[in-house]
Amino acid sequence: MPLNIKEMIQQRLGENYELHAKHLNRTLVKVHQTVGFDKVYARAQGSYLYDRDGNDYLDFLSGFGVYNIGRNHPAVKQAIKDVLELDLPNMVQMDCAFLAGLLAEKIVQRLAAQGAPHLDAVFLCNSGTESVEGALKFARAATGRPRIITLQNSYHGLSFGSLSVTGNPYFQEGFGPFLPGTETKVAMGDLAALENELKKDDVAAFMVEPVQGKSVKFPKDDFYNAAQALCRKHGTLFICDEVQTGLGRTGKWFGFEHWKLEPDIITLAKTLSGGYVPCGAIVTRRDIYQKTFSRMDRCIVHSTTFGRNNLAAACGLAALTVLEEENLIENAAKAGAKLEAALEGLKKDHESLAEVRMKGLMGAVEFAEPPSVMQRMGWKAIHSLDKSLFPQLIVTPLISKHRILTQVAAHNSDIVKFLPPLIIGDKEIDRFVNALDDVLKGLKKFPGPIWDMGNNFFKAMKTPV
């Protein structure tokens, strides 16, 4: 009998957490169950997820930024159907795939339209971390230099090379030692420290996220411009990791546009998939590209089996077309400004809400110890248990009471992050802001249910998996 996926889903949907606990990551299962994220979603459309009872959940996480165009967009679905119906040859490998060529052409055209015509050579891969890995290789091959510098608190991926250049010790714990030449991470804004390293003339590349993904932090000045100038002076390539910031997330097509930068290499992924088939890309100058593929016998010295497959290319073409035709970059800027203003308005009523940080629809709210006695007691009590516990007291009621999906942004921080699809409007903005307002009002009641929740989380964290 042929596999009947629809029947299997109908019969067994709901076993999600049991299956994962038995065969996959049981620690992750425990976390989901502890913090109330153990929902069973049966359907998704646009900005919403739906459970088996038809309850909607506002998706302000977008699969960590994958769903800029919303979930299950009909244009991407149709592109996949069309490709499948054509029975095209796929992954022949010893050929030049047509759809991959079309996707590369469209990416280059878009970059030219955004003021970066120098980025004219594309390598297609499967994911963000893979695009970063390739960018590191391209930089070393082009310069003949060994070192890569990144920023403190940066995040570039979890495979070994990308983890080596990630500037967040939380993700690196237990996996060292890391790649030689990747040890240096400079503080954002510290040009003196950066130049001190660059003048050694052994740095292949300086890589930044235009907006840091784990904390939504970015320079408020011309640090990136000055850093790029220093890289030019010392023969170092300037790389922008646009895996999360690219393709509209920040209210512009690419994050580097906010500072009018001219990066030598950018990395893309997430939204390029259309939410269906993994798709990533490295885009660079042709002369840099050719330093990697420098001879005929090195034509596949950097390669990836699935990187040029038809389904991924079709999804990329469809996703880029949707972003253009539905004016989603413009909506990201407009909706982001509305959301930022509304969140700033909450600060006057909630003394623990210290800062709102946003670029387009890439946002975070950061909390700090409140001045009032009762709220300060609750703050100190929770932080004495665990430094990363407080933002979970925001995220959990947002989903359990208000059915809004967000995330704790970074380990040992008091940051809640949100990445809504670029299609949101006033309805979604109002729902999120009103829900956050309600949750913060609950924090004013100490002792109270939300603070008790923190104690329960701490007890669960201390029990073995």
pLDDT at 410 over 80: no
pLDDT at 15: 98
Residues 92-128 pLDDT 10s:
999 999 999 999 999 999 999 999 999 999 999 999 9
Walk me through the domains of the chain, giving residue ranges and CATH numbers: 39-69+328-462 (3.90.1150.10), 75-325 (3.40.640.10)
pLDDT tens sequence across 32-65: 999 999 999 999 999 999 999 999 999 999 999 9
Place of tokens 């703050």: 379
Considering only CA atoms, which of 366, 20, 48 is closest in space to residue 212? 366
Going by their DSSP bridges, the two strands 185-186 and 265-268 should be labelled as unpaired
> What is residue 277's predicted lDDT score, i.e. its pLDDT?
97
From 189-203, 321-335, 344-358, 451-465, the region with the lowest mean pLDDT: 451-465
**Distances in whole angstroms, Cα of residue 231 to Cα of each of 162, 226, 235, 268, 364:** 20, 9, 6, 22, 30
The strands making up 56-59's β-sheet, listed across from edge to edge, are: 41-45, 48-51, 56-59, 404-405
For residue 411, what pLDDT is reported?
A: 79
Give pLDDT tens digits for 322-343: 999 999 999 999 999 999 999 9
Q: How confident is the model at residue 214 (pLDDT cuts 50, 70, 90)?
A: very high
Residue 444: band (very low, low, confident or very high) from pLDDT cuts 50, 70, 90 = confident
pLDDT at position 213? 96
Please tell me the predicted confidence (pLDDT) of residue 449.
77
In the prediction, which pLDDT does 177 show?
96
Average pLDDT, the chain: 95
pLDDT for the residue numbered 373: 84
CA gap 250, 116 in Å, rounded:
17
| Strand, coil or helix: 144 | coil
- Give me the mean pLDDT over the 164-172 stretch: 95
Cα–Cα distance for residue pair 347/335, rounded to 1 Å: 19
- Render pLDDT for 352-403 as a digit per residue (tens, 0 to 9): 999 999 999 999 999 999 988 888 888 888 888 888 889 999 999 999 999 9
Look at residue 388 in the predicted model and tell me its pLDDT. 81
- The pair phi, psi for residue 221, each rounded to 5°, is -130, -155
| Cβ neighbours of residue 278 closer than 8 Å, sequence gap 6 or more | 126, 127, 269, 306, 312
Enter the pTM of the model. 0.96
pLDDT > 70 fraction of the chain, expressed in percent and rounded: 100
If one counts every other C-beta atom within 10 angstroms of the C-beta of residue 451, the result is: 19
Instruction: Check residue 452 and give its pLDDT.
Output: 78
pLDDT (0 to 100) of residue 372? 86
Q: What percent of the chain has pLDDT over 90?
A: 89
pLDDT at 43: 98
Q: Confidence class of residue 72 from pLDDT cuts 50, 70 and 90?
A: very high
